[in-house]
């Protein structure tokens, strides 16, 4: 019976040792996985930061282009207004000249 108890205790101790060994391996794997996850997160955050920086630069360039286009449109509008004023002035002068000519013709015809 005593022999049986000794063998039983050795088997139990052997099982406990294997369990401790598995636990150490699991902890080691968990540390590796945790380290891998941390590295993955750092890499992901770095990538996201680069992406945000790119998007921010893209928006700045896009806004500069928009402002450039707006300025060109304002410039064209000013040129158009200037040309319209010139045309309006030209038309007024033409009408005055036309009226003078008509008046002269009427005077001539009335004589």
The DSSP 8-state label assigned to residue 86 in this structure reads H
pTM of the complete model: 0.45
The DSSP 8-state label assigned to residue 26 in this structure reads H
Q: How far apart are CA 61 and CA 58, in angstroms?
A: 5
Mean pLDDT by 10 residues, the chain (111 residues): 88 93 88 90 95 96 96 92 85 89 85 70
Q: Tell me, what's the pLDDT at 94?
A: 87
Q: Tell me, what's the pLDDT at 31?
A: 87
| Per-domain residue ranges of the chain | 1-85
- Collapsing DSSP to helix, strand or coil, 1 comes out as coil
CA distances for 9 relative to 2, 14, 104, angstroms: 11, 8, 138
Give 42's contacts (C-beta < 8 A, 6+ positions apart): none
**Tokens for 77?**
């509008």
């Amino acid at each position: 019976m005593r022999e049986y108890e000794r063998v039983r205790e050795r088997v139990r101790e052997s099982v406990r040792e294997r369990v401790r060994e598995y636990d150490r391996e699991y902890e080691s794997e968990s540390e590796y996985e945790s380290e891998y996850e941390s590295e993955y997160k750092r890499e992901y955050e770095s990538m996201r930061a680069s992406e945000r920086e790119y998007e921010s630069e893209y928006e700045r360039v896009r806004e500069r282009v928009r402002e450039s286009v707006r300025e060109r449109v304002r410039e064209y509008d000013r040129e158009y207004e200037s040309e319209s004023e010139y045309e309006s002035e030209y038309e007024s002068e033409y009408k005055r000249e036309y009226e003078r000519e008509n008046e002269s013709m009427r005077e001539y015809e009335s004589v």
